[in-house]
Every structure is written in structure tokens, then in C-alpha cells.
């Protein structure tokens, strides 16, 4: 990749992206610039990654070929108003905020620009993110390929249509919180039965990690993998029956759908 990338916002997700890009050798540190008002965060980022930082978003806008807006959704209007007259004519704007449709971003800039809407998730912080990517119609295939490569540097990425973005929020963007609750609950049960807390979290988290890898790497249906563990009259099927008695699957479906509906509301 032979471009300069600018990040406006220096939070966890921005730093995860920077780390992934540099670890994958997609760019040299000299090709990345970060803008943020938090000077302490900028100093830590510069020290960690050896990149240029600034408190002036216009400096980022003027030199960047790709600009990642990694600020909170409520700050998009303020930031875009600052930079809209400074960005390059052929700049690619990457948005990673929930509820920000491509059309709304175009409207805030007041003209047609190349926009790529992305929904990543927090496991990007450990190189295991899942990102959904949707470009507007003027982003070229070559440019889209560069963006996909960038997000694959810290996990997996899939190109989708924008109408599925709200579903992505439910099944991927917000769902790590549900998984953390599941891990915590399993660990609590182990502690209740005498296991030390630190070991309980390790056993529960590794079981979830390994199970997810089985789904991704074998390509088998989750139900088939579940059946492989459930011996007739055994311990696992006893636990499965207890989960079903409590409406486990319906609770998960409801949680994901509620999250999706909230994302739809925020998009209006």
C-alpha cells in the first residue's frame, strides 16, 4: 500500500487498527498520522508506534489519502465541519461509527466523496476482530481491496451491503459483550463448585475460543459440533437440556435482534 493514512481520533479502535497495519507491514510508521485533542493519548501512541501525531485535524486532512474517522458518532458533525474543505479531492473516508449511514456522511461533507463504512468490533484489540465493509459506488475495486486488506490486518473482514450493517451490529459489533457475560457465568459456576477464580476464567475463555475456532476452521454446522460433544445420557446433554429449559437460544436471539433494532433506530 503506497498511501498516507490519517486517523482522527486516538481511542482503542484507532490504536488497534494502527497496530494491525504496522504489524502486517502494510505501511511504514512515517505513512501514518493521528489527530486528537487528547495530548496524553497522542504521546502514548507516538511512543508506542513511532508515528506522527497532531492536535490539528486539518493537518491530518491535508496530507492523508485515506482518513479514518475513529471518533464517537456524536462528534462526526463537528469533525467533518472542521476538515471538509481541507481533504484531498480523491480522499477515501472510512467511517467506523455505529448508526452513520454512507448518505449521512456524504451530506455532512456537502459533496460526493469516496466513503467506506465499516463496522469493526473490540476483539480487533487482540488481532481477532470481525469487520463488515461497505463502500459507496465511486470507490474502485482496487481501493476497496486496500481497505479490506487494512482491516484484515487485525482479524477477518467481509464486504456486505449497507442494509445489513444493522444486523452486523447485533451479531458481531455488540455481541462480544454477550460472550463476555457467558464466560463470566460459566466461570461463576466453576467458582461455586470450588475452582479458583483465575483458573475458572482461563478454562471458560479457552473453551469459547476453541469452540469458535472449530466452527471457523472445520466449516461444520454448530449443531453438528454440539452433537459431537453430547454423548447419550452424558454430562453435556444434561447441561444442554438445562440451557433449553431456561430459554437459552431464545434469549440470545432476542438480545441480538434487540441490538439490531436499536442500531436501526440510531440510523434514522
- 62 and 135 housed in the same domain: yes
- 20 and 151 housed in the same domain: yes
Contacts of 151 (CB under 8 A, 6+ apart): 17, 20, 118, 120, 129, 131, 133, 157
Q: How confident is the prediction along the chain (268 residues), in pLDDT tens digits per residue?
A: 788 999 999 888 899 899 999 988 999 999 999 999 999 999 999 999 999 999 999 999 999 999 999 998 889 999 999 999 999 999 999 999 888 899 999 999 999 999 999 999 999 989 999 999 999 999 999 999 999 999 999 999 999 999 999 999 999 999 999 999 999 999 999 999 999 999 999 999 999 999 999 999 999 999 999 999 999 999 999 999 999 999 999 999 999 999 999 988 887 7
- 82 and 37 housed in the same domain: yes
Of 165, 193, 213, the domain-final residue: 165
- 11 and 73 housed in the same domain: yes
Which of the 8 DSSP states describes residue 121? -
* pLDDT confidence of residue 176: 95
- 135 and 119 housed in the same domain: yes
Q: What is the tally of structural domains in the chain?
A: 2
- 112 and 145 housed in the same domain: yes
CATH code for the domain in which residue 88 is found: 3.40.50.720
Question: What's the grid cell of residue 123?
Answer: 476483539
- 200 and 255 housed in the same domain: yes
CATH code for the domain in which residue 177 is found: 1.10.3730.10
Number of C-beta neighbours around residue 260 at 10 A = 20
* pLDDT confidence of residue 12: 86
Of 111, 135, 165, the domain-final residue: 165
* pLDDT confidence of residue 60: 96
- 9 and 83 housed in the same domain: yes
- 148 and 246 housed in the same domain: no
* pLDDT confidence of residue 100: 86
Of 120, 144, 165, the domain-final residue: 165
* pLDDT confidence of residue 66: 97
- 153 and 217 housed in the same domain: no
- 129 and 203 housed in the same domain: no
- 218 and 111 housed in the same domain: no
Q: Name the residue range of residue 143's domain.
A: 5-165
* pLDDT confidence of residue 268: 72
* 0.75 exceeded by pTM: yes
- Distance CA(266)–CA(61), nearest Å, equals 27
* Residues making up the chain, counted from first to last: 268
DSSP-derived secondary structure for 190-250: HHHTT--HHHHHHHHHHHHHHHHHHHHHH---HHHHHHHH--TTSHHHHHHHHHHHTTHHH
* pLDDT confidence of residue 98: 82
Amino acid at each position: 500500500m503506497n498511501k498516507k493514512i490519517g486517523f482522527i481520533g486516538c481511542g482503542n479502535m484507532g490504536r488497534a487498527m494502527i497496530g494491525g497495519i504496522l504489524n502486517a507491514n502494510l505501511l511504514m510508521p512515517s505513512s501514518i498520522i493521528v489527530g486528537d485533542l487528547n495530548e496524553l493519548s497522542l504521546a502514548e501512541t507516538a511512543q508506542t508506534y513511532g508515528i506522527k501525531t497532531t492536535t490539528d485535524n486539518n493537518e491530518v486532512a491535508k496530507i492523508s489519502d485515506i482518513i479514518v474517522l475513529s471518533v464517537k458518532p456524536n462528534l462526526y458533525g463537528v469533525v467533518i465541519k472542521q476538515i471538509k474543505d481541507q481533504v484531498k479531492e480523491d480522499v477515501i473516508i472510512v467511517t467506523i461509527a455505529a448508526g452513520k449511514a454512507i448518505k449521512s456522511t456524504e451530506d455532512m461533507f456537502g459533496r460526493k466523496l469516496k466513503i467506506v463504512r465499516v463496522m469493526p468490533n473490540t476483539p480487533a484489540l487482540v488481532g481477532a476482530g470481525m469487520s463488515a465493509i461497505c463502500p459507496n459506488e465511486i470507490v474502485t475495486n482496487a481501493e476497496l481491496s486496500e481497505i479490506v486488506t487494512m482491516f484484515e490486518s487485525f482479524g477477518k473482514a467481509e464486504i456486505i451491503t449497507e442494509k445489513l450493517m444493522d444486523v452486523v451490529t447485533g451479531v458481531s459489533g455488540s455481541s462480544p459483550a454477550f460472550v463476555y457475560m457467558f464466560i463470566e457465568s460459566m466461570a461463576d459456576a466453576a467458582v461455586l463448585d470450588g475452582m479458583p477464580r483465575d483458573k475458572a476464567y482461563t478454562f471458560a475463555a479457552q473453551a469459547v475460543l476453541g469452540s469458535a475456532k472449530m466452527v471457523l476452521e472445520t466449516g461444520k454446522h454448530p449443531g453438528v459440533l454440539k452433537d459431537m460433544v453430547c454423548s447419550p445420557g452424558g454430562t453435556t446433554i444434561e447441561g444442554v437440556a438445562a440451557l433449553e429449559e431456561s430459554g437459552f437460544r431464545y434469549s440470545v436471539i432476542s438480545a441480538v435482534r434487540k441490538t439490531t433494532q436499536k442500531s436501526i433506530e440510531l440510523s434514522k
